[in-house]
Structure 1
Amino acid sequence: MASFTVEKRQLKSGELRYKATVFVKKNSRIIHRESKTFRKKDLARTFGRNRVLELESKGVQINNSVPLGVLLDRFMNDADLWNKTGRTKRYVIQMLRDCDIANIDSNQLRTSDLIEHCRNRRSAGAKPATVYHDIAYLRSVMKKATPVFNINANYPIFDEAVPVLIDMGLVGKSQKRTRRPTETELDRLKEGLKARQDFRSNGKTRIPFLDILDFSILTCMRIGEVCKLRWEDLNEEHKTIVVRDRKDPRKKEGNHMIVPLLAESFDIAMNQPKTNELIFPYNPRSVTAGFQRVRNSLGIEDLRYHDMRREGASRLFEKGYSIEEVAQVTGHRNINILWQVYTQLLPHKLHNKQKNKAR
């Protein structure tokens, strides 16, 4: 038995969209689900009614081909797939759902369709590295179409399309980021963060911006990792802490790692009030938002909070730590990535390393 529902949702821009979802049940179990989004509610209802009539008369076609938007919906509605999908990939898939390419039949996708999509994205201001995510994640979804959903999808077309898109400059890898804050910039940031911290001292939540910034640099941790550290995972005797579920492209969960708290980072942690099970019980978005507001007010350009991770790793190299030792701090399994992406050594700092050796 086929039926449909219409769900209203609001985009970040404030515009409304109406998603019509069609279900087919057999013996109280859903054997088919598809959905399509429209700008008007009447169009969504018309689609739902027509699809219900079609499915009732023709039945569900197994191993069929559907619009890419339907395939994307199926992927998003599958908890086993969606719950293990990272934040960036989720954003891209949801964005693709509202693009023109979502109307193309999953088994009729051609290189020319991908070229048109990439050109549209470029005209909207997206860089080649960003557009590459569109292609990579769409390919990933289409590759699961047949084994998971019994839907035909022409995913082998990407073997032909990707080299062409690269040659045309429509997609490409992101450029290596080398930004590190100067000493002057860090001093100004700390002054600004201290002023913001003192100004909000009477509020319900007082974020210790200075401690968190210094701790982030000294430990090379991501801000999301800093704000998830637990007191129970802190080993005072060894001055180490367990970083739970550390980011690893090969393993989404259970990637716990014991990390040394070097220099003053251990003291910074111990000086935090033990009023919560977390050492830094703050929303990481609030921390980065405060950092960004201070940075913008000071006119410091092209500096991200994540650059503090590069700053910390580079400082460790400049102090003479080996790449294996630095990897123990940063959590990198791939040493090549650590060296290529998270280090930007300052030549004049090598004099300090020579002085330390002389001592």
Structure 2
Amino acid sequence: MASFSIQTRTLANGEARFKATVTVKKNGSIIHREAKTFKRKELARTWGKNKTSELEEFGIKQYKTTSIGQLLDQFIGDRNLWDNTGRTKQYVIKMLRDCNIANIESDKLKTNDLIEHCNLRKSVGTKPQTIYHDIAYLRSVMKKSLPVFNIKSSPEIFDEAVPILIDMRLIGKSNKRTRRPTENELDKLREGLLERQSFRPNGKGRIPFVDILEFSILTCMRIGEVCSLRWGDLNKIHKTIIVRDRKDPRKKEGNHMIMPLLGGAFDIIQKQPSNNERIFPYNSRSVTVGFQRVRNNLGITDLRYHDLRREGASRLFEKGYSIEEVAQVTGHRNLNILWGNHPKK
């Protein structure tokens, strides 16, 4: 039977320390004991609960350990994990594989190791918002190490480290973007994109950049969602369409939503040839690259394709739609996020 207790002691400088001790008894005798000290009581309690649950589930045994680099290799090599990992997370994990932190044993990671890693990244000009991804994705991998690979690691160290890294301004979340294209910029983009799509007026693979641009603003869809729309999901009577697998941090698949096609969005769909299962049967990356090249040639700075989604939501608010109504279009389940686009915020 595993249990834990917490003892408090006060240092000479008056600061408190909390020692969590986990014990396992059998027939009234202690057969296993381990302890760890924390600066905050809630961290000690969390570690004690996790360690107790771990011992109850897996029993007392010697788990194998490995370097963090080898743990990352195992994660990369597991197709069930890697194939369902986003592109940004894959890039960060591969990058971490070549950092000094990869040489540390998986169960020996300490807060000062994370501080050193962040300082090294900062010294070469990496921004705190980017370094935040290093910490978040490394933590994600380490949380899976024991149940998936039977490798002992120390994901609980992040509970202590993250607040310290934030206080030291070594990591931080990205500032909320407020960039909206001006009407002049949109006019220039339309002209530039029309010229680009005219290079191959009858050629195979011709992308209707202007239609996709307008459609993206009207529907507030991500470009990946636009390029995944199917004719079979279009309801011509009600002028709605099913958007499959909308982005949701809680679920990767199955987030299908019916959304209204407002403004001229339905008319833009009707203009597209119906000789393919998808309405816009193009690679989303090709669309984004084409947009970026035209934008750069026009000298338009700090404008991303994703900003069109924000532009669309802002326009809906300006037309008088409520937050709940706009959420039906954007797909936001957390309505608080939409306040960032609300002109009355």
TM-score under structure 2 length normalisation: 0.80
Secondary structure, counterpart of 1:66 in structure 2:
coil
The CA deviation string for residues 93-152 of structure 1, in whole angstroms up to 9 with x for no partner, is 121112111111111111121111111212233211111111011111112222222212
Between the aligned partners of 1:70 and 1:238, the Cα distance in structure 2 is: 54
Secondary structure, counterpart of 1:144 in structure 2:
helix
Say whether 1:249 aligns with 2:235.
no
- Report the AA paired with residue 179 of structure 2: R
Secondary structure, counterpart of 1:228 in structure 2:
coil
Give the equivalent residue in structure 1 for 2:87: 87
- Report the AA paired with residue 233 of structure 2: D
Aligned 1:1-359 pairs, distance under 5 A:
63-340=63-340, 343=341, 345=343
- Report the AA paired with residue 152 of structure 1: K
Secondary structure, counterpart of 1:279 in structure 2:
coil
The answer on whether the counterparts of 1:65 and 1:153 sit within 8 Å (CA) in structure 2 is yes
Change (3 A) 1:346 1:189: farther
Between the aligned partners of 2:190 and 2:337, the Cα distance in structure 1 is: 29
- Report the AA paired with residue 195 of structure 1: E
Q: Which structure 2 residue ranges, 5 or more long, are not aligned?
A: 1-60
Distance apart, 1:291 and its partner CA: 0.7
- Report the AA paired with residue 343 of structure 2: L
- Report the AA paired with residue 300 of structure 1: I
Distance apart, 1:216 and its partner CA: 0.3
Identity across matched positions, percent: 72
Change (3 A) 1:344 1:186: farther
Q: Which structure 1 residue ranges, 5 or more long, are not aligned?
A: 1-60, 348-359
TM-score under structure 1 length normalisation: 0.77
The answer on whether the counterparts of 1:62 and 1:151 sit within 8 Å (CA) in structure 2 is no
The answer on whether the counterparts of 1:131 and 1:171 sit within 8 Å (CA) in structure 2 is yes
Between the aligned partners of 2:342 and 2:189, the Cα distance in structure 1 is: 20
Between the aligned partners of 1:160 and 1:205, the Cα distance in structure 2 is: 52
The CA deviation string for residues 167-199 of structure 1, in whole angstroms up to 9 with x for no partner, is 111101110100000011101111111111112
Between the aligned partners of 2:203 and 2:237, the Cα distance in structure 1 is: 35
Secondary structure, counterpart of 2:339 in structure 1:
helix
Structure 1, 198-207 or 306-315: larger mean CA deviation: 198-207
Distance apart, 1:345 and its partner CA: 3.2
Change (3 A) 1:188 1:344: farther
The answer on whether the counterparts of 2:222 and 2:306 sit within 8 Å (CA) in structure 1 is yes
The answer on whether the counterparts of 1:310 and 1:344 sit within 8 Å (CA) in structure 2 is no
Secondary structure, counterpart of 1:192 in structure 2:
helix
Between the aligned partners of 2:229 and 2:332, the Cα distance in structure 1 is: 18
Distance apart, 1:200 and its partner CA: 2.8
Which 4+ runs in 1 deviate beyond 6 A? none
The answer on whether the counterparts of 2:231 and 2:277 sit within 8 Å (CA) in structure 1 is yes
What RMSD over aligned residues (CA atoms) do the two structures have, in Å?
Answer: 1.6
Distance apart, 1:316 and its partner CA: 0.2
Between the aligned partners of 2:147 and 2:306, the Cα distance in structure 1 is: 38
Between the aligned partners of 2:260 and 2:195, the Cα distance in structure 1 is: 31
Distance apart, 1:86 and its partner CA: 2.3
Structure 1, 273-282 or 87-96: larger mean CA deviation: 87-96
